[in-house]
């Protein structure tokens, strides 16, 4: 019985590793580097070499050689160094986290300056993470009840809006040629594989909150402006933004129109016992490290709380696990209005991003219940990253 249990644990902890390629020099070099990395960073593993074209294509690989851990592509089109592979091995439990891998960024737009600002920020992040961008415009004004307009008009209107969307994207990115691709591809298949650095546009039909939430299943991060001219983002934390932040299948970055992207240097992680999920802390730490950012874990509570020391210890354990370059910072602030106190702390410490980890889908309504909190949120210029940990981000 004990033997079977140990056997099952061993299998559960085993990492499946695939090397995909055509048997050329690059593939052999990748195998050599992987072998050396496993010597220096030993893990239970099962290695398979794959050279069949059909299997390579089915795995979603677009350029060989490629390295796959537990079904997730961790490298393609290059030969990572031994040190790079060791880092991948050390972070292998994070590889299925969307925020960690960050290969596909979804940017809903309404052709407003606010969505242009969100796209600008997404381009900068895509360049840093070597991610692709999908820009979507959701058409809902032609719907009456649940019935769309006649198909002929719909087709013509879609073509017109596609042209407007492409012109908007070109205008929004023309000053960012160093980080945004010059070629914009349209109407690509839903099952199209990830292509690093690509930017594509799409016209979609339906109610924005429903369409965006559905499309978020294929995205690793959703970046959305929080003011706009149309129905997509009527006002900061308006009905669509709340619905998207609640129901998205991936993390959501809410970008206020006044936000200016200069990198993220100090990130405020709003802390409570609901946000103590170990994986969420680790993936947030790894996300911050990509920007070389200092993380501030800030607990807002009532006077006399006795459990904060335990919370600090748990954060410290998970922070050290990620081997951060910055020292650990944990602060407790006391107050009845959570948002007001967080904004005070952010202002005093020059934080340029908020991170909220939620377990309950009514989280935003709770924050917006008090008029003062709502007013402050309506005037913030700090981006807000929302991570849901009540379900696995896969």
Give the containing element (helix H, strand E) for 392. none
Report the alpha-carbon distance of residue 102 to residue 96 in Å, rounded.
10
CATH code of 266-388, in short, is 3.40.50.620
**Domain coordinates in residue numbering, the chain:** 2-94, 101-255, 266-388
Q: Which of 37-46, 188-197, 233-242 has the highest mean pLDDT?
A: 37-46
Cα-to-chain-centroid distance, residue 243: 17
For residue 7, the Cα-to-chain-centroid distance in whole angstroms is 35
101-255 matches 266-388 in fold: yes
- Range of 72-76, 256-260, 294-298 with top mean pLDDT: 294-298
CA distance 241 to 246: 8
Q: In terms of pTM, does the model score above 0.85?
A: no
Per DSSP, the residues of 76-125 read ESS---HHHHHHHHHTGGGTT-HHHH--EEEEE--SSHHHHHHHHHHHHH
What backbone torsions phi and psi does residue 18 show, to the nearest 5 degrees?
-120, 135
Whole-number Å distance between alpha carbons of 21 and 30? 10
Mean per-residue pLDDT for 55-69? 89
How buried is residue 272: exposed, middle or buried, by Cβ count under 10 Å (0-12/13-18/19+)? middle
The tokens 């009540």 sit on which residue? 390
What's the pLDDT tens digit per position in 135-147?
999 887 654 444 4
Pairing label, strands 199-205, 15-20: unpaired
Among the residue ranges 302-306, 320-324, 336-340, the one predicted with the least confidence is 320-324
The CATH homologous superfamily of the domain defined by 2-94: Glutaredoxin (3.40.30.10)
Return the CATH fold of 101-255. Rossmann fold (3.40.50)
What percentage of the chain has pLDDT greater than the value 70?
72
């Amino acid at each position: 019985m004990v033997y079977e249990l140990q056997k099952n644990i061993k299998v559960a902890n085993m990492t499946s590793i695939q090397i995909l390629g055509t048997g050329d020099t690059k593939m052999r070099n990748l195998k050599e580097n992987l072998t050396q990395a496993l010597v220096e960073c030993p893990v239970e593993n099962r290695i398979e070499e794959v050279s069949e074209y059909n299997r390579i294509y089915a795995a979603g690989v677009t350029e060989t050689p490629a390295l796959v851990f537990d079904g997730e592509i961790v490298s393609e089109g290059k030969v990572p160094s031994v040190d790079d592979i060791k880092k991948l091995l050390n972070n292998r439990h994070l590889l299925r986290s969307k925020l960690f891998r960050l290969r596909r960024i979804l940017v809903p737009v309404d052709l407003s300056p606010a969505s242009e600002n969100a796209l600008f920020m997404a381009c900068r992040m895509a360049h840093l993470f070597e991610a692709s961008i999908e820009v979507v415009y959701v058409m809902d004004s032609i719907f009456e009840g649940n019935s769309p307009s006649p198909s002929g008009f719909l087709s013509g209107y879609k073509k017109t809006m596609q042209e407007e969307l492409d012109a908007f994207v070109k205008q929004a990115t023309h000053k960012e040629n160093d980080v945004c691709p010059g070629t914009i591809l349209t109407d690509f298949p839903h099952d199209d594989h990830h292509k690093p650095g690509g930017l594509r546009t799409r016209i979609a039909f339906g109610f924005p909150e429903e369409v965006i939430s559905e499309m978020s299943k294929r995205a690793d991060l959703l970046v959305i402006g929080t003011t706009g001219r149309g129905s997509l983002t009527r006002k900061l934390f308006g009905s669509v933004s709340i619905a998207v932040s609640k129901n998205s299948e991936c993390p959501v970055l809410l970008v206020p129109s006044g936000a200016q992207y200069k990198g993220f240097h100090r990130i405020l992680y709003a802390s409570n016992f609901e946000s103590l999920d170990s994986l969420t802390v680790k993936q947030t730490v790894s996300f911050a490290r990509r920007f070389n950012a200092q993380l501030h874990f800030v607990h807002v509570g009532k006077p006399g709380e006795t459990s904060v020391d335990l919370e600090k210890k748990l954060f410290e354990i998970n922070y050290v696990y990620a081997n951060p370059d910055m020292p650990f910072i944990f602060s407790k602030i006391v107050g009845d209005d959570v948002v007001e106190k967080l904004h005070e702390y952010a202002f005093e410490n020059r934080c340029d991003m908020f991170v909220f980890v939620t377990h309950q889908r009514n989280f935003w309504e709770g924050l917006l219940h008090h008029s003062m909190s709502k007013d402050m949120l309506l005037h913030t210029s700090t981006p807000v990253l929302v991570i849901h940990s009540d379900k696995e981000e896969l």
